[in-house]
């Protein structure tokens, strides 16, 4: 039986790695993300290489899972998209609504807390680069390694480096390229074009797939495999316009490595927190997303997992707290006017009712990030009919939860045990002072529908909160809240490979072939409608249905925007994009812009009249600018590069088209040795 990569990391090898990384600490990186120092101890043995490689593998977890009490860092990749939006309406000045006004190189790029993680994705992205470069800088100096072993280390390190740059270039555009550990601090970087960076990624991943062992020949779960390299290479081929190669690579991965879409229940049966309150009928979609099944031996769909269970490096991932509607909020009233009719009640409370234990069933949400109307409603509707058969949108089996499915459980409510309702269905009581009913028929019963009224893909977000399950006095269930819980997560799985192949076929003009791949994912989910042809919008909607909170949604929207501009293929509205201008447009009007901008403004509340209002003393207006396609280069990185000039992204303060950048990645690599 294979061991988890974390088990390897517990030993002395990890201690050695940490010692050699002292000069490259996270805190130093945050202060000066473009300066990297040589580790204090040379990796002179294979054991040292293993230590560095283990740190690379661990870095994935810190990149995506952050351990914040109120936040899930991955949500940052949904705030400026078609399917998500920031929802914590009590954040005052930190409220991330108007990115047009608030997102600048010096502000609005939070490192965590209850805001966003844009700066953190910059810092942690380059942190991954740092660890990968440590391996690449020392692997040739280790004696006794045969060619295959040496190149396997290189290939894994190149995957890590490529994964970081893949996301950094899509999130931040033209960025500094760092491929080695400089002998002394370098502060004269020149930006490298994202197009050049992707050319490098293609060459490096083509090397990796030749040498990195397959999953079957890899000793630890969580280590990089050939399959993971093939999956990432497919994405890179799409960006580079190598559509036939992307299709061929995806087909190879789908057919030749023992992977398959899971179509029947499997692995560990782990129901919702309290079946007396909310029953889940066992089904494949539910089992697929239970964290103990991510790495289960029966799961043939996992390509690359994030290992986060029962180990000393455990990181909290509290999806039920951060992503679920704030259903216990006092902004909700029952039909008789009682505020906070939904309660979090401990099992040892005298008023506890096991049939109304919503806290354990769905968690105590605070709604940091919520889903859009498009995700909640539109993508499940075909020809005027809602598909409740699709297991990803199925209330009957328990995978999907509407607010109206929750029942009032506050003992003070005269509506105790009745289902939540958004509007009063009849008059209730009489207010002598106003001469009106206490609650009037048709009156809305939730004053903040942004934060406290939206449905939940329970199958995707529920995690058994083991520590709180073991505490009879617990009143908040969050997900993988502490050690003892299983917080394993998908980085890559085969369903996405099918959807990537669908894209490759679409760009080559094979829309019917693309439909076959989309249908493979839909058939597994028991979706009602099958396609005979697809648009890029159909593929993107299927990504939303299948990969919510797995993909980096904004980065993937940028990638698809780039692919459309390069391929010349039209979007679902018949519009095409210019490769010279798709990423260089300004304004908030609904004309023009990239495909990313079209989907944000047509499928979400951004820049729409209904996208602004107030809650309490907070005013909000959901806006994005066309230039928000890319996040700004952090000012901290620009000012740290005191002997050189980095390019700022189009539309942000400091943008100057005349600032030079490398357009050939090999020139950028050659320049790394030049220190001013």
Indicate the DSSP class of residue 483. Answer: B
pLDDT, position 72: 86
Q: Is the pLDDT of residue 300 over 60?
A: yes
Q: Where are the beta strands (DSSP E) in 361-410?
A: 369-371, 381-382, 385-386
Q: Is the pLDDT of residue 497 over 80?
A: yes
What tens digit of pLDDT does each residue of 76-128 get?
Answer: 999 999 999 999 887 755 557 899 999 999 988 877 667 778 999 999 999 99
Per-residue pLDDT band for 152 (boundaries 50, 70, 90) equals very high
Asked if 85 contacts 36 with a C-beta cutoff of 8 angstroms, the reply is no
User: pLDDT > 90: what percent of the chain?
Assistant: 80
Q: Is the pLDDT of residue 515 over 70?
A: yes
What tens digit of pLDDT does each residue of 402-424 get?
Answer: 999 999 999 999 999 999 999 99
- Residue linked to tokens 């490689």: 53
pLDDT, position 94: 58
Other Cβ atoms closer than 10 A to 430: 10
Per-residue pLDDT band for 61 (boundaries 50, 70, 90) equals confident
Q: Is the pLDDT of residue 437 over 60?
A: yes
Give CA separation, 153 vs 54, 179, 213, 216, 651, in Å.
Answer: 11, 15, 10, 17, 40
> What does the alpha-carbon distance between residue 384 and residue 161 come to, in Å, rounded to a whole number?
46
Poorest-pLDDT segment among 84-98, 159-173, 266-280, 281-295: 84-98
User: pLDDT > 70: what percent of the chain?
Assistant: 92
Task: Give the bridge partners for 144, in sequence order.
Answer: none
pLDDT, position 93: 54
> What does the alpha-carbon distance between residue 143 and residue 412 come to, in Å, rounded to a whole number?
73
**More confident: 63 or 326:** 326
What tens digit of pLDDT does each residue of 337-373 get?
Answer: 999 999 999 999 999 999 999 999 999 999 988 999 9
List the chain domain ranges. 3-79+97-258+643-671, 262-300+318-486
Average pLDDT of 592-604?
Answer: 97
Q: Is the pLDDT of residue 374 over 70?
A: yes
3-79+97-258+643-671: CATH topology is 1.25.40
Mean pLDDT taken over the chain: 91
């Amino acid at each position: 039986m294979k061991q988890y990569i974390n088990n390897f990391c517990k030993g002395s090898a990890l201690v050695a790695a940490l010692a050699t990384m002292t000069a490259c600490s996270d805190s130093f990186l945050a202060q000066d993300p473009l300066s990297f120092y040589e580790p204090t101890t040379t990796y002179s043995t294979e054991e040292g290489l293993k230590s560095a490689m283990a740190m690379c593998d661990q870095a994935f977890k810190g990149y995506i899972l952050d351990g914040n009490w109120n936040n899930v860092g991955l949500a940052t990749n949904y705030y400026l998209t078609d399917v998500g939006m920031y929802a914590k309406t009590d954040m005052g000045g930190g409220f991330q609504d108007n990115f047009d006004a608030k997102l600048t190189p010096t502000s609005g790029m939070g490192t965590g807390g209850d805001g966003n993680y844009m700066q953190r994705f910059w810092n942690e992205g380059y942190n991954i680069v740092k660890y990968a470069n440590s391996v690449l800088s020392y692997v040739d100096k280790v004696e006794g390694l045969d060619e295959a072993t040496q190149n396997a280390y290189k290939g894994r390190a190149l995957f890590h480096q490529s994964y970081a740059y893949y996301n950094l270039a899509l999130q931040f555009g033209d960025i500094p390229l760092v491929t080695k550990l400089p002998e002394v601090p370098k502060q004269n970087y020149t930006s490298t074009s994202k197009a050049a960076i992707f050319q490098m990624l293609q060459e490096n991943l083509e090397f990796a797939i030749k040498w990195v062992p397959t999953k079957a020949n890899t000793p630890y779960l969580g280590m990089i495999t050939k399959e993971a390299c093939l999956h990432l290479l497919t994405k890179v081929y799409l960006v580079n316009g190598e559509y036939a190669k992307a299709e061929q690579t995806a087909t190879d991965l789908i057919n030749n490595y023992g992977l398959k879409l899971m179509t029947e229940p499997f692995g560990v049966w782990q129901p919702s927190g309290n079946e007396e309150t909310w029953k889940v009928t066992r089904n494949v979609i539910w089992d697929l997303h239970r964290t103990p099944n991510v790495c289960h031996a029966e799961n043939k769909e996992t390509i690359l997992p994030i290992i986060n269970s029962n180990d000393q490096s455990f990181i909290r991932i509290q999806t039920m707290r951060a992503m679920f509607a704030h259903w216990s909020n006092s902004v909700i009233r029952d039909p008789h006017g009682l505020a906070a009719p939904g309660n979090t009640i401990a099992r040892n409370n005298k008023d506890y009712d096991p049939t109304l234990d919503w806290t354990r069933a769905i968690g105590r949400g605070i709604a940091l990030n919520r889903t859009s109307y498009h995700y909640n409603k539109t993508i499940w509707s075909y020809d005027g009919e809602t598909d409740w058969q699709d297991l990803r949108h199925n209330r009957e089996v328990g995978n999907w939860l509407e607010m109206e499915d929750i029942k009032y459980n506050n003992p003070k409510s005269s509506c105790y045990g009745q289902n939540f309702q958004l509007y009063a269905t009849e008059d209730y009581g009489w207010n002598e002072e106003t001469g009106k009913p206490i609650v009037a028929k048709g009156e809305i019963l939730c004053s903040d529908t942004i934060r406290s009224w939206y449905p939940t893909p329970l199958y995707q977000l529920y995690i058994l909160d083991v520590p709180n399950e073991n505490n009879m006095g617990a009143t908040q269930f969050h997900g993988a809240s502490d050690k003892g819980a299983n917080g394993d997560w998908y980085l890559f799985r085969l369903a996405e490979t099918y959807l990537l192949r669908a894209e490759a076929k679409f760009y080559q003009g094979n829309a019917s072939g693309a439909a076959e791949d989309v249908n493979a994912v839909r058939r597994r989910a028991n979706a009602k409608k099958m396609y005979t042809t697809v648009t890029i919008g159909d593929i993107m909607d299927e990504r939303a249905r299948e990969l919510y909170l797995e993909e980096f949604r904004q980065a993937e929207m940028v990638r698809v925007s780039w692919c459309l501009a390069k391929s010349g293929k039209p979007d679902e509205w018949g519009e095409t994009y210019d490769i010279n201008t798709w990423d260089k447009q300004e304004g908030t009007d609904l004309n023009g812009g990239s495909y990313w901008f079209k989907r944000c403004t047509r499928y979400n509340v951004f820049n729409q009249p209904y996208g602004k209002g107030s809650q309490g003393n907070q005013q909000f207006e959901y806006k994005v600018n066309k230039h928000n396609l890319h996040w700004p280069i952090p000012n901290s990185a620009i000012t740290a590069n005191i002997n050189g000039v980095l390019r700022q992204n189009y539309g942000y303060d400091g943008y100057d088209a005349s600032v030079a950048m490398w357009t050939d990645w090999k020139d950028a690599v050659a320049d790394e040795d030049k220190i001013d």
